Chains A and B, each alone.
Chain A
């Protein structure tokens, strides 16, 4: 789960990480009032959960009340990569000497926590990692022993040794930075993050460190034990994907596809999409009805598929193990009875209670197929 910059900033601040003065608001008038309080110049930042908002014009400096009002007005009327701007954050403008990068993530391949720093802050870290990996300092930490002072030394020393910041005593900056990384690590662990990042961590003209952008992603699996679940901005989600989530389905829509799919199991659902593409069709979505097979889920799945106006045929691909084919059949029958479905439906039901399922659906006009391949080919043909 992604959260907004201002929410991440509050979490970092509560751990004692230095952040610029800032406030959020939802109207241009309020933006002006906050700007007056903070003192000019100020930076006005759109709060959207996508990268590249600076390039898109979502971050601007205002030098006067009128300008603050105008910029806030402009930003509120923007859509950044399809996301409307409903909250902006006004912050004090900082005189920047250097921009650094500090981040913590889970490293899947080493099964450790990776803490990274770079003197090349302020830009996308993936880009730095790809083009100039030597500019990234990375330490793998065993979560059982946690972060130790020697880790911090290794991470911060390279940031302050090439005379890029000849403002104050480098040793003092080094130890301030050690502190910030230590706090960031603890914020990461204690809030069940999958990512915690400060980019840029700024060295100011006065020789202080300040976290000028705050980013946190929270592990979806940990939401049950956190008040942090309340930080979710449901407006930032695709409304259909959100509805699917609330019905216990896993759904991802694809652009330009015309074969809708309803499948049990994530691996089989991905493979269904892959085979549709392999045989010359275009899958419209990923949809996993999950392990337990309540007929209601099939009805919800059908409703969700029908919201996609590009869909021309629907493929039901079920391999029954725990999921019982007869439960799926009951759900299908209910869908046909209660909804107007303008598309042909291809049904492949294999496994637990498949015969019973066929009996249930005997009087319907569905296209029954006996194999995965046949089902995929038929659904593509019917979408044409």
Chain B
């Protein structure tokens, strides 16, 4: 089992004719992902990697039953692309629609994301990102840009706000013989769709997941909220790691979301929140597999 991405996932690639879109479409197909359609306005009728391109998401969904969209559209057009995918809804009551949108695009204006976040509340559509590396369910499918080869199927869930750090953590787990159920990069922006809490609750309900590794970083209070949720609603063990213990305040550390401002969002506060609810916090990514092993066996 897995969460969000499984054998039924049919992917529509928004921005398929762009450089990144085309490259990663091939990568996704090579990994075994069922990519069924691409969308680029004005380029309908073309083919990219043998995938048919449509002018609109609506057409793509009608013709191919796509249920998941991945967005590679450049930042200035990405907001429209996301609304388009949300608004497809359920054409002709066919029961198929875009249930999950994964936004890889970096640099979408924060206020636009704030509006999208609140707009989504009136729908059942789920959003991962923006600025997300994507989702991998090992040996089943990958949606986004995470390299597939570091993964191994198994029973550990991984949730992270980062990209390459996620790869490092997954690589460590795989080397230690700990396979993964699903790995998700939530995205490094200040406002993202699904939060740690949303994803923890899916893993809690997933019969294919025994434990969760949570990779957080400085900025915001998502990790603190997650700690409270774990205390009150999680029965499965969670192991955490927090990046940015040495980050200076008021400096944006690459990700738009990774900034300590007004004394909020420090690594200390996040580590303390986890430790106070019994969640072990690794001091380095290399320590994570050991902590997971010792907690699964309890």
Contacts and interface: CB of A to CB of B under 8 A. Distances in A.
Interface of A: 106, 108-109, 111-113, 126, 129-130, 142-144, 189, 192, 194, 219-222, 224-225, 250, 252, 254, 263-271, 273-278, 283, 286, 288, 291, 319-323, 350-352, 371-373
Given A111-B117, A372-B286, A267 B75 contact: no
B227 to A, nearest CB: 13
Given A108-B220, A283-B246, A271 B117 contact: no
Interface of B is mostly: loop
Given A108-B190, A265-B162, A268-B165, 6 more contacts: A112-B118, A224-B107, A252-B253, A278-B284, A286-B247, A286-B251
6 contacts: A111-B114, A221-B109, A265-B164, A267-B165, A268-B164, A278-B283
B110 to A, nearest CB: 5
Interface string B93-118: 00000000000000111110011011
B221 A109 contact: yes
Given A143-B115, A319-B168, A319-B171, A221 B107 contact: yes
B225 interface: yes
Chain A interface mostly helix, strand, loop or mixed?
Answer: mixed
Contacts of A126: 262-263
Interface residues on B, range: 35 or more
A113 B117 CA distance: 12
B109 A192 contact: yes
B175 to A, nearest CB: 10
A377 to B, nearest CB: 12
Nearest to A191: B111
Interface of B: 75-76, 107-111, 114-115, 117-119, 133, 145-147, 150, 160-168, 171, 188-191, 215, 217-222, 225, 243-248, 251-258, 262-263, 283-286
B245 to A, nearest CB: 5
B110 A219 contact: yes
A288 to B, nearest CB: 4
A270 B217 contact: yes
Nearest to A323: B164
Contacts of A371: 286
Contacts of B107: 221, 224
Contacts of B162: 265-268
